[in-house]
Amino acid sequence: MSLVKKFATVGGATLGSRLFGFIRETFMAAALGTGPVADAFNTAFRLPNTFRRLFAEGAFNSAFVPLFAKEIEANGMEGARRFSEEVFGVLFTVLLFLTVAMELTMPFIVSNLIAPGFANDPAKLGNTIVFATIMFPYLACMSLAAMMAGMLNSLHRYFAAAIAPVFLNIILIGILGYAWYIGQDPIAVGYGLSWGVMAAGLVQLAIVWVAVRDAGIKIGFRRPRLTANVRRLLVLALPAAITGGITQINLLINTNIASAQEGAVSSLVYADRIYQLPLGVVGIAVATVLLPELARALRSGNINEASNLQNRSVEFTLFLTLPAAAALLVMSEPIVRLLFERGEFQASSTVVVGHILAIYGLGLPAFVLIKAFIPGFFAREDTRTPMIFAGISVAVNVSLALTLFPRLGASGIATAEIVAGWVNAVLLFGMLVWRGHWGRDISLLTRIPRLVIAAAGMAAALHFALQWLTYEVSSAAPLIVRATTLCGLVAAAMVIYFALAFAIGGANLGMIRRNLKRKAKAKVEPSTMPDADA
């Protein structure tokens, strides 16, 4: 299976999850707007969700995958099963103690660390504590699911792990639809959503558990012991978790800062939901597929193959991400108006969320490139260097957020996030080049500025089109008119971008053909590796 086809498998499943996420946020915006219950739920959900993304996209997809793949190559499927049982025993025990400790200390954590700005509103603070207490066991479910997702990725079975998150959105959409049907008050909606998150964690864990068993690995519980393999995993996982979860760490800190302003937390969450679509579909797909592929190429000593994997991944991400970033920059307010402006979500909220989304558009290429650069370190079992750069990025984010928030509100926090993201991306790329781990690719270097020009041309065309279609994208126009207009603009923008990219040499048929036909050069015996198509 080619690299792009693997990206498409993961990206397609992630796209489904993100689209359901849009529907979920649309329902939530109509039911809760940016009011106090929305702030309470989004703040409470940020705590387990931060750890979920940190584990699922950080520690285990960064530290566990190379070690698990190495066990498959050295000791076959039986050795990989023993290793996974050793890790499962330790992980389950740690998560059990962590969950109990967090449940007992939740009032202190929320009021002092997560949302100190809610102290002046006892009702909002109390709801946040209760919601967080209900939802926190979701972390344990998703951390165990992340381990099994890493196993599936190492076995080239990407679909089950990628599709599982869609069930969170399906469950929450069902709860919001029922609440709307019977006319529940906002507090009851908040409680329903919190229990829905907990249920979704159990469902997602069950899906990947079944997929792992179907892949031929039955995990039993072993008494937790710090074996040599587990110690090696912990050494790699701690910095990998910090590095892979840098965006989430920044978001958690920013939630703390934003809690001082009414509606700021929810405004950031709504904007983040839209911006997560291209980031999730492209960035997470690349990171998920690239790490095991890159680790395999390096283990086999194929440096040229590793270099080609990295360059093609950057080529693929920029080809798709630059136009998305340009569109978010130009069309942010009409997009937010179409998706969210109804019910409790007012026109004033559209302006605020639209401004934040435009800022996020400027940082989108950076965050996607980070996903493509980090596997170059993790595949070599170097998790320390990215951790140091992540720490620098956090320092930049916090200092800028504290400086800009009093002046710009939530937009200041978004600005701090994207500046920190670009700092992290530049440091990662610079170190790969300095160490000689990034192969020079003249064709890639010549294509990047041309892709930027194509995206800029597309953005200019969109800007003038929006000036001409002022009424059609305004709140005064019927919903069907706004939806049809935006869909038409997106289709026209795609035609303009791809036409410009091919016309000026940013892309060509040879590039597309090479990415589609490149075969993964896996050095695994057929008898020990299940089919990749499952």
- pLDDT of 532 reads 29
Contact call for residues 353 and 42 (beta carbons, < 8 A) = no
Residue 514's contacts (CB-CB under 8 Å, 6 or more residues apart) are: 312
Fill in the amino acid letter for 321. Answer: T
> How many alpha carbons lie under 13 Å from residue 482 in its C-beta half-sphere?
18
- pLDDT of 530 reads 30
- pLDDT of 104 reads 92
Residue 424's contacts (CB-CB under 8 Å, 6 or more residues apart) are: 246, 366, 370, 389, 390, 392, 393
Domain boundaries, the chain: 3-517
Nearest residue to 428 (alpha-carbon basis) of 243, 273, 249? 243
Residue 468's contacts (CB-CB under 8 Å, 6 or more residues apart) are: none
Contact call for residues 92 and 8 (beta carbons, < 8 A) = no
- Report field, pTM of the whole predicted structure over 0.75: no
Fill in the amino acid letter for 398. Answer: V
Report d(CA 78, CA 91) in Å as an integer. 20
H-state helical runs in 279-409: 285-299, 303-340, 347-373, 375-378, 384-408
Residue 262's contacts (CB-CB under 8 Å, 6 or more residues apart) are: 36, 39
Report d(CA 440, CA 57) in Å as an integer. 28
- pLDDT of 520 reads 38
**Measured between alpha carbons, how far is residue 115 from residues 42, 62, 247 in Å?**
11, 30, 18
Report d(CA 335, CA 485) in Å as an integer. 11
- pLDDT of 139 reads 83
- pLDDT of 318 reads 84
- pLDDT of 117 reads 79
The gap between the terminal CA atoms of the chain, to the nearest Å, is 12
Give me Rg for the CA atoms of the chain: 23
User: How confident is the chain (534 residues) per 10-residue block, as mean pLDDT?
Assistant: 53 64 78 81 82 59 71 76 82 87 90 81 89 90 82 74 81 89 86 93 90 80 76 72 61 77 81 77 60 63 69 78 90 88 80 91 87 77 81 89 88 91 92 80 80 93 91 86 91 92 77 49 32 30
